[in-house]
Amino acid sequence: MGTFLTNNVPGHKALSQVIKLSAVNGQPVAKISDEPEKATCDNPEYAASAEGNLRHRLTPPQSP
């Protein structure tokens, strides 16, 4: 779908490009991936916090 958002001109081949979000309203964002080379974030502290929050949410609750 992203290809058609960046090029919807009939008769022209789409460029091979990757567009990644880096911030929203001045706040950092992070892409967390099992493949370290695909993870992105301009703020290492935010990336670590986001990854910790994700791992916490994915951890099943402990039985009493």
Q: What is the pLDDT of residue 13?
A: 82
pTM, 2 dp: 0.61
Give the contacts of 43 (CB within 8 A, at least 6 positions apart).
28, 30
Q: What is the pLDDT of residue 25?
A: 97
Q: What is the pLDDT of residue 10?
A: 85
Q: What is the pLDDT of residue 52?
A: 93
Single-letter code of the amino acid located at 46: Y
**Per-block mean pLDDT, blocks of 10 residues, the chain (64 long):** 69 80 93 88 93 91 83
Q: What is the pLDDT of residue 30?
A: 94
Q: What is the pLDDT of residue 4?
A: 63
